[in-house]
Amino acid sequence: MPIYHQVAELYCAPGADRFRVVFKPGFGQRYRELFSAGTVLPAHSVTKRAEVESVTAATESGVEEDLARLGKAWQELFDIAKTDPASVPTFGPYRIAEKGEQGQLVLRENPEWAGDSPAQVPIYVWGPEADLPKLAEDHQISVLDAPVKTDFAAAGIASEKFSISRQPSDRLDTLSLTDTGIFADEGARHAFSACIDRKALVKTVSEFSRNRVTATGLRVVQPSAPTHPRLRALSGAHMNRDIPAAKGTLEGATVRIGYLKERQRYAKQVESIKNSCAEAGITVEAVPLTAANYGTLGEDYDALLSTLSGFGRNGISKANQSSLLPEILRAEKELQQAMWTIPLTTEPRAIATLKNVDNVVDNPGNVGLSWNMDRWVELDHIPETTSPTNTPTKKS
């Protein structure tokens, strides 16, 4: 996570339930990028499962057996396939009360939560492996964050009962480049960006996802931001394709791109990049990854294709969308020059919401639709506004 580079000091006493992070001047407002959902985990639960005194004691002792148990516990405790999720402490308005026989999770009110109670209890969460047509037939779908290729009609999601949206989000499919090896040199990073055909990428992703995605060359300003039209020329300049320049620097080179294998869209994008960069004599190798074995940037692959929120695409600029235009312009140019990331296209989405379910609002961050699920409410009538995409998207 790039923002880690802007941490000046970390105060964390062994056994304490609080810690303090001091950022370098000007970066403190971005603390939410450091601790997004699921990144601060209960270490005491890990030590209990590992049967060690504490994380600190186990790591400082250097005893191989203790370290092995600790590592295994850390990997398995938060994996719902290997752990009863109801046994893991939860921070937030909901807790996982149980895991159903078919893999669904049952969310109920968290008695330890000090904030407002959730409006809708219980909530049943089904994963991507669920039988969508069967759930629809049994009237078990209220909110659906669907795979982008989903044929809603074939899945039984009737348009007269659901609000359906295929609007892309503000998150961007982005290449993050290593600072070692082939991309240690700034010129090589620029050359690789210059071989990518953005028009071909947009066509590939749009056809695959049934979404009308767009390309962007900006790293601070999101595509839907009011300031984006004023920076359109700069965005276009950042996406210029220059095969002679790419060929002059990287001809004969091999670039390995890692991506999460379960995201079919990523595979299509890597294939498109492979074809376009071949014109410059650059070989692109696909490196499919799994969540359990994600590898390491700079060792297992040279670039990582992932989807990043607007506020998490860079860790070296203090500018944000609320900054004055001159500051944004300066930041965009500095980030383009550094070229640690290559923004590609907007993220395609496919969302369906029952028309009598209110307060479902998409979010441009990594939590998507679930960001305000404690405010969702199922009504006995259809509210005046039923679209799930009027602002920043959620799940089945």
Distance CA 327, CA 337 (A): 15
Which DSSP string corresponds to 71-125? HHHHHHHT-TTTS-GGGS---SSEEEEEE-TTS-EEEEE-TT--SPPPSS--EEE
pLDDT of amino acid 105: 94
Neighbours of 346 (CB within 10 A): 25
pLDDT of amino acid 389: 46
**What pLDDT, in 10s, does the model give residues 228-266?**
999 999 999 999 999 999 999 999 999 999 999 999 999
pLDDT of amino acid 394: 41
- The answer to whether the beta carbons of residues 93 and 116 sit under 8 Å apart is yes
Q: Which residues touch 109 (CB under 8 Å, ≥6 apart)?
A: 93, 94, 95, 117, 118, 121
Which amino acid would we find at residue 159? Answer: S
Question: How many Å is the maximal CA-CA distance in the chain?
Answer: 65
Burial status of residue 36 (CB atoms within 10 A of its CB: 0-12, 13-18, 19 or more): middle
* All domains in the chain, ordered by first residue: 2-77 (no CATH), 86-167+349-378 (3.40.190.10), 172-346 (3.10.105.10)
Half-sphere exposure of 84 (CA within 13 A, CB side): 5
φ/ψ of 368, rounded to 5, equals: 60, -135
pLDDT of amino acid 224: 86
pLDDT of amino acid 122: 95
- Kindly report the length of the chain: 396
pLDDT of amino acid 155: 92
Distance CA 79, CA 390 (A): 34
pLDDT of amino acid 392: 35
Distance CA 341, CA 335 (A): 8
**pTM here?**
0.85
Q: Please give the helix or strand (H or E) that residue 307 lies within, else none.
A: strand 303-308
CA dihedral 335, 338, 340, 343 (to 10 degrees): 40
Instruction: Indicate the DSSP class of residue 6.
Output: G
Which amino acid would we find at residue 337? Answer: Q
Distance CA 395, CA 373 (A): 10
Q: Which residues of the chain have pLDDT under 50?
A: 386, 388-396
pLDDT of amino acid 12: 86
pLDDT of amino acid 385: 57
Neighbours of 94 (CB within 10 A): 22
φ/ψ of 364, rounded to 5, equals: -75, -5
Q: What angle do CA 276, 277, 278 make, to 5 degrees?
A: 90
